């Protein structure tokens, strides 16, 4: 709501700068979007009087004007506006002036004729085209005759008035009006504004009841009132009214419509004016019938819904109630008799209608937020009085009331103790009462209770908490003490699972992966990749874009998107991990998915930058496997970690992927992204892992990891064997572990070789075995026996050739 500071000053004694007033409003009531003075940035714009005018010899549309600007000599100004004429008082931009859009005006020649300045249209001095009255839309603006020549224009166009744009919260519909804002400021500055009740000068010879009748469904319109004014003369509004409207962002139309908009601004009560002679028979307020249509004032055609409220005459809908009037019954230049409507339409219906027809108007906005039931009649009365004042005519006696609503005013009882208990203040009851006095809420002290009567204009207040808010904001949030909660103590600790999740992140960062946060919503295709269990995708009912339609069932596809984003920006080396949720559904008709914590990582390119002494190798399977393994080891989960070759992931390289299990529980996979998938994502050779974090959290941990370090020396034996290529490291290691004897402590593979000196289809593997006896010094003979046994088993079971 754009509020005029000048208008407020008609009711209140305010002398602070508009900026300070705005800040006060912001800190006490509602947010302020902006404070603007239209003349800011403009320079040397004055009222000019066109003394004479002649045609430009070189042009068929330009005129040469002699303009009195209050100086000794008139200025010669060339003007091309179609409506320019001698005798007019106009906006003159003097030489070296500044007009709208920060444009400087200089003396110039137009087709050979000197022009000392410019005669301006409203939009040229910063007016939005939306608020310029139609009569001035295609030409220059012409002042009333009584405007003094040579004076700056700003005052005469309302451009010197600071406009405070309030961003009114949904609960403060009362502040969508000047009167509501005045009440609020009266409370803030502790003033008693006088708000006069309108007096209507009715014509006793004309009876409204005889002119028109109306019926209303009170469920749709709690209050529905009409008044009639006859024999009006439609004309443009006077400047003061036009100024009020355009400063509020509303285009002036004519003296009747402008009055209804003026009342809307002043009371927050939307009104509508009908041309009485275009209405056929009685008016009814009802739901639209199936198939009914209406052309609104903006000349848009609407197919009506049976949920829309319409104003209808005998034949058809004539207005979309509370949203916009109908084209066919609008006031035009020939209108003589008008019907003015003042009503309260049901907010829910209005909201739906505004949404359905995409018609969010000043009226609908106010009906959606609520209307002061005690202001409906006043607004109507002031409207007809003002119409009579501006457009002449006779006000018919009486008001047609199809429905009426005057709720009983709520009385809420509060105590100082409870108020202080909630706010942390130490206010006394009379201090609280003084705040309600300022707000204009009448209250009665009853023992330690304060009975507060809520005026109809504050329909947002229902319970004591609402009153605490009123007390707090008028008392001032700055005056509230700042304390920390006291009372019963609590301990703040992370749960074991939360600690583990933190540790997980630190471990991965320690081994070189940076945390990514990708989008959980992706395409169906990507959502279905890298599936660790069978699952149906979860889809949004109304997605916003094609890229985000489906909840992810893996983290990797998001990380691959990230890699692609980096590659597209010439970053080849990427090492990322992500910790987040995936969403599984057992069946397509299950609505709500199960949310499972996962963790995943990707590496492509180099993990560290190549440098003069850092001869890096691009990431490969064994780098990422080493990382994952170290990661899992660090979690201290009970049981062995094993890696089994798998070709079950269509998105992974079938020969370079391993299923990871811990103590027989599958927890995820590690490997190379399938080259075709890499190509599809437009990424380079990439290695990845994804793990079920929830499983890692749930698996039992080694609580007692400590083992005494052996005091006795260890003995090492190296063994080199040649085996068939198909034999895996795992097979060899498992056999050694099984047959290695009690003292075999560690097996370390130190060489793998295929090629020269090794027969085709074979490979050479070399291991270093460490033997330790924790209780005494090992004897060579014991180790020799154990070592011989391993050799024998390797030969017998794996057909190994010992070298």
Partner 1 sequence: MSLRDKLSEIKEKGLADIDQANDLKKLNEIRVHLLGKKGPITAALRGIKELTPEERPEVGSYANKIRDAITEAVSNHREELETAQLNQQLATEKIDVTLPGKPVAQGQPHVIQQIIDQIVDLFLGMGYEVLTGPEVEEDKYNFEMMNLPKNHPARDMQDTFYLSREILMRTQTSPMQARALEKHDFSEGPLKMISPGIVYRRDTDDPTHSHQFHQVEGLVIDEHITMADLKGTLITMAQNIFGDKFDIRLRPSYFPFTEPSVEVDVTCFNCMGKGCDVCKHTGWIEVLGAGMVHPNVLKMAGVDSDVYGGFAFGVGPDRFAMLRYGVDDIRDFYLNDVRFLNQFSKRGN
For the annotated binding site for Mg(2+), the residues are 460, 466, 469-470
The only residue of 148, 424, 759, 774 in contact with partner 1, by rule CB under 8 A: 424
Smallest distance from partner 1 to CB 660, Å: 20
The only residue of 141, 583, 584, 687 in contact with partner 1, by rule CB under 8 A: 583
Angle between the 429-439 and 178-189 helix axes, to the nearest 10 degrees? 150
Q: Which of 198, 164, 196, 197 is nearest to 181 (CA)?
A: 164
Nearer to partner 1, 596 or 766 (CB): 596
Asked if 387 and 232 count as a contact pair (C-beta separation under 8 A), the reply is: yes
H helices of 357-443, in order, are: 362-369, 376-391, 416-423, 429-439
Residue 489 interacts with partner 1 (CB under 8 A): yes or no: yes
The only residue of 444, 517, 633, 749 in contact with partner 1, by rule CB under 8 A: 517
Q: Total number of residues binding partner 1 (CB under 8 A)?
A: 98
Q: Give the residue numbers of the binding site.
A: 460, 466, 469-470
Residue 756 interacts with partner 1 (CB under 8 A): yes or no: no
Chain residues 124-153 in contact with partner 1, contact rule CB under 8 A: none
| Paired strand residues for 98 | 43, 104
Nearer to partner 1, 351 or 526 (CB): 351
Nearer to partner 1, 279 or 603 (CB): 603
Smallest distance from partner 1 to CB 183, Å: 15
Asked if 634 and 619 count as a contact pair (C-beta separation under 8 A), the reply is: no
Joined together, the tokens standing for residue 302 give: 């609407």
Sign of the CA dihedral running 373, 377, 380, 385 = negative
Smallest distance from partner 1 to CB 188, Å: 11
Q: Within 10 Å of residue 172's Cβ, how many Cβ atoms? A: 19
| Paired strand residues for 673 | 652
Helix, strand, coil shares, percent, the chain, to 5: 30, 30, 40
Smallest distance from partner 1 to CB 503, Å: 13
Give the residue carrying structure tokens 């199936």. 290
> Residues in the chain, how many?
803
Nearer to partner 1, 112 or 543 (CB): 543
Residue 575 interacts with partner 1 (CB under 8 A): yes or no: yes
- Residues 33-72, one symbol each (x = binds partner 1 by CB under 8 A, - = not), give -x--------------------------------------
- Residues 714-753, one symbol each (x = binds partner 1 by CB under 8 A, - = not), give ----------------------------------------
Residue 595 interacts with partner 1 (CB under 8 A): yes or no: yes
Sign of the CA dihedral running 425, 428, 433, 439 = negative
**What is the SS3 assignment for 334?**
coil
The only residue of 199, 204, 358, 484 in contact with partner 1, by rule CB under 8 A: 484
Smallest distance from partner 1 to CB 267, Å: 21
Smallest distance from partner 1 to CB 132, Å: 28
Query: How would you class 441 by CB atoms within 10 Å of its CB: exposed for 0-12, middle for 13-18, buried for 19 or more?
Result: buried
Residue 317 interacts with partner 1 (CB under 8 A): yes or no: no
Nearer to partner 1, 513 or 769 (CB): 513
The only residue of 226, 320, 383, 508 in contact with partner 1, by rule CB under 8 A: 508
Residue 102 interacts with partner 1 (CB under 8 A): yes or no: no
Residue 614 interacts with partner 1 (CB under 8 A): yes or no: yes
Q: Rounded to an integer, what distance in angstroms lies between the CA atom of residue 134 and that of residue 130?
A: 10
Q: Let me know the angle formed at the C-alpha of 487 by 485 and 491, rounded to the nearest 5 degrees.
A: 80
Nearer to partner 1, 126 or 370 (CB): 370
Asked if 427 and 479 count as a contact pair (C-beta separation under 8 A), the reply is: no
Q: Tell me whether strands 686-692 and 594-604 are parallel, antiparallel or unpaired.
A: antiparallel
Residue 351 interacts with partner 1 (CB under 8 A): yes or no: yes
Give the residue carrying structure tokens 């009371």. 267
Smallest distance from partner 1 to CB 441, Å: 16
Smallest distance from partner 1 to CB 289, Å: 24
Sign of the CA dihedral running 641, 643, 648, 651 = positive
Residue 170 interacts with partner 1 (CB under 8 A): yes or no: yes
The only residue of 23, 231, 404, 536 in contact with partner 1, by rule CB under 8 A: 23
Question: Any long-range contacts for 547-551 (C-beta under 8 Å, 24+ apart)?
Answer: 547/522, 547/523, 548/519, 548/521, 548/522, 548/523, 549/521, 549/522, 549/523, 549/524, 550/521, 550/522, 550/523, 550/524, 550/526, 551/520, 551/521, 551/522, 551/527, 551/582, 551/583, 551/593
Nearer to partner 1, 394 or 552 (CB): 552
Q: Rounded to an integer, what distance in angstroms lies between the CA atom of residue 444 and that of residue 513?
A: 68
Element containing residue 25 per DSSP (H, E): helix 18-28
Residue 199 interacts with partner 1 (CB under 8 A): yes or no: no
Smallest distance from partner 1 to CB 611, Å: 6
Residue 617 interacts with partner 1 (CB under 8 A): yes or no: no
Chain residues 546-565 in contact with partner 1, contact rule CB under 8 A: 548, 551, 562, 565
Q: With CB under 8 A as the contact rule, which of the stretches 191-199, 458-466, 631-639, 743-751 interacts with partner 1?
A: 458-466
Residue 656 interacts with partner 1 (CB under 8 A): yes or no: no
Nearer to partner 1, 299 or 478 (CB): 478
Nearer to partner 1, 565 or 621 (CB): 565
Check residue 378 and report its DSSP letter.
H
The only residue of 542, 703, 713, 760 in contact with partner 1, by rule CB under 8 A: 542
Nearer to partner 1, 329 or 364 (CB): 364
**What is the SS3 assignment for 370?**
coil
The only residue of 116, 261, 273, 518 in contact with partner 1, by rule CB under 8 A: 518
Check residue 637 and report its DSSP letter.
B
Q: Rounded to an integer, what distance in angstroms lies between the CA atom of residue 232 and that of residue 89?
A: 28
The only residue of 191, 213, 336, 347 in contact with partner 1, by rule CB under 8 A: 347
Smallest distance from partner 1 to CB 341, Å: 23
The only residue of 205, 301, 486, 777 in contact with partner 1, by rule CB under 8 A: 486
Nearer to partner 1, 502 or 638 (CB): 502
Asked if 617 and 701 count as a contact pair (C-beta separation under 8 A), the reply is: no
Q: Over the Cα atoms of the chain, what is R_g?
A: 42
Smallest distance from partner 1 to CB 636, Å: 21
Smallest distance from partner 1 to CB 66, Å: 44
Joined together, the tokens standing for residue 442 give: 């009448």
Sign of the CA dihedral running 615, 618, 619, 620 = negative
Q: Rounded to an integer, what distance in angstroms lies between the CA atom of residue 412 and that of residue 466?
A: 10
Chain residues 359-398 in contact with partner 1, contact rule CB under 8 A: 368-369
Residue 488 interacts with partner 1 (CB under 8 A): yes or no: yes
Q: Let me know the angle formed at the C-alpha of 268 by 264 and 274, rounded to the nearest 5 degrees.
A: 35
Nearer to partner 1, 599 or 778 (CB): 599
Q: Rounded to an integer, what distance in angstroms lies between the CA atom of residue 593 and that of residue 588?
A: 10
Q: With CB under 8 A as the contact rule, which of the stretches 66-74, 256-264, 356-364, 612-620 interacts with partner 1?
A: 612-620
Residue 541 interacts with partner 1 (CB under 8 A): yes or no: yes
Sign of the CA dihedral running 164, 165, 167, 171 = positive
Nearer to partner 1, 440 or 512 (CB): 512
Residue 599 interacts with partner 1 (CB under 8 A): yes or no: no
The only residue of 314, 498, 676, 799 in contact with partner 1, by rule CB under 8 A: 498
Q: How far is CA 98 from the centre of its chain?
A: 37
Joined together, the tokens standing for residue 332 give: 């035009």
Residue 449 interacts with partner 1 (CB under 8 A): yes or no: no
């Amino acid at each position: 709501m754009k509020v005029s500071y000048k208008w407020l000053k008609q009711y209140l004694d305010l002398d602070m700068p508009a900026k300070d007033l705005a800040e006060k409003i912001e800190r006490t009531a509602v947010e302020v979007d902006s404070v603007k003075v239209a003349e800011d940035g403009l320079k040397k714009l004055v009222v000019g009087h066109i003394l004479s005018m002649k045609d430009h010899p070189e042009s068929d549309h330009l005129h040469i004007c002699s303009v009195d600007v209050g100086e000794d000599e008139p200025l010669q100004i060339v003007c091309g506006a179609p409506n320019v004429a001698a005798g007019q008082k106009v906006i003159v931009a003097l030489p070296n002036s500044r007009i709208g859009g920060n444009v400087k005006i200089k003396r110039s020649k137009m087709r050979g004729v000197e022009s000392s300045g410019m005669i301006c249209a409203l939009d040229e001095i910063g007016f939005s085209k939306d608020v310029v009255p139609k009569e001035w839309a295609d030409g220059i603006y012409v002042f009333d005759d009584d405007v003094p020549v040579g004076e700056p224009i700003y005052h005469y166009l309302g451009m010197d008035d600071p406009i405070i744009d309030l961003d009114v919260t949904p609960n403060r519909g009362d502040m969508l009006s000047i009167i509501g804002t005045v009440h609020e400021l009266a409370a803030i500055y502790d003033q008693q504004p006088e708000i006069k009740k309108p007096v209507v000068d009715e014509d006793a010879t004309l009876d409204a009841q005889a002119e028109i009748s109306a019926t209303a469904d009170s469920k749709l319109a709690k209050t529905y009132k009409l008044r009639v004014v006859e024999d009006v003369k439609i004309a443009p509004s006077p400047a003061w009214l036009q100024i009020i409207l355009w400063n509020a962002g509303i285009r002036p139309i004519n003296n009747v419509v402008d009055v209804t908009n003026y009342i809307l601004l002043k009371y927050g009560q939307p009104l509508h004016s009908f041309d009485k002679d275009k209405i056929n028979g009685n008016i009814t307020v009802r739901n639209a019938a199936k198939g009914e249509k209406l052309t609104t004032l903006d000349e848009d055609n609407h197919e009506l819904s049976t949920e829309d409220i319409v104003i209808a005459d005998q034949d058809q809908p004539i207005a979309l109630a509370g949203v916009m009037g109908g084209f066919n019954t609008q006031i035009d230049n020939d209108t003589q008799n008008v019907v003015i409507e003042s009503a309260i339409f049901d907010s829910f219906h209005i909201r739906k209608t505004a949404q359905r027809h995409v018609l969010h108007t000043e009226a609908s906005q106010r009906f959606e937020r609520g209307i002061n039931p005690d202001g409906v009649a006043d607004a109507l009365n002031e409207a007809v009085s003002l119409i009579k004042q501006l457009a002449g005519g006779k006000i018919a006696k009486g008001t047609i009331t199809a429905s009426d609503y005057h709720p009983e005013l709520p009385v809420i009882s509060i105590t100082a103790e409870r108020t202080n208990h909630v706010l942390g203040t130490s206010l006394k009851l009379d201090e609280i009462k003084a705040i309600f006095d300022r707000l204009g809420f009448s209250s009665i002290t009853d023992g330690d209770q304060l009975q507060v009567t809520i005026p109809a204009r504050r329909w947002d207040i229902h319970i004591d908490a609402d009153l605490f808010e009123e007390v707090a904001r008028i008392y001032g949030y700055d005056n509230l003490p700042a304390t920390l909660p006291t009372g019963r103590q609590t301990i703040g600790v992370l749960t074991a699972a939360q600690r583990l999740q933190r540790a997980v992140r630190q471990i991965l960062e320690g081994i070189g992966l940076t945390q990514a946060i990708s989008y959980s919503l992706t395409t169906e295709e990507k959502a279905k990749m890298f599936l660790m269990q069978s699952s149906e995708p979860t889809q949004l009912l109304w997605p916003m874009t094609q890229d985000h339609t489906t909840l992810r069932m893996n983290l990797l596809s998001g990380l691959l998107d990230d890699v692609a984003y980096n590659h597209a920006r010439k970053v080849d080396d990427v090492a990322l991990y992500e910790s987040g949720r995936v969403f599984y559904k057992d069946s397509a008709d299950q609505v709500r998915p199960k949310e499972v914590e996962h963790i995943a990582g990707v590496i492509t390119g180099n993990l560290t930058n190549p440098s003069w002494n850092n001869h890096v190798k691009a990431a490969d399977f064994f780098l990422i496997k080493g990382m994952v393994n170290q990661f899992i080891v660090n979690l201290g989960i009970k049981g062995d970690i094993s890696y089994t070759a798998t070709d079950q992931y269509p998105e992974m390289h079938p020969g370079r992927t391993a299923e990871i299990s811990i103590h027989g529980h599958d927890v995820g996979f590690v490997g190379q992204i399938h080259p075709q998938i890499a190509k599809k994502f437009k990424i380079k050779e990439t290695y990845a892992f994804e793990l079920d974090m929830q499983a890692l959290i749930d698996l039992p941990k080694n609580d007692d990891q400590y083992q005494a370090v052996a005091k006795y020396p260890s003995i090492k034996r190296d063994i080199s064997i040649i085996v068939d290529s198909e034999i895996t490291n795992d097979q060899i290691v498992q056999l050694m572990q099984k047959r290695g004897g009690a003292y075999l402590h560690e097996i370390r593979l130190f060489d793998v070789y295929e090629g020269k000196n090794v027969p085709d289809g074979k490979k050479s593997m070399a291991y270093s075995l460490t033997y330790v006896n924790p209780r005494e010094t090992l004897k060579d003979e014991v180790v020799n026996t154990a070592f011989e046994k391993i050799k024998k088993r390797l030969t017998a079971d794996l057909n190994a050739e010992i070298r």
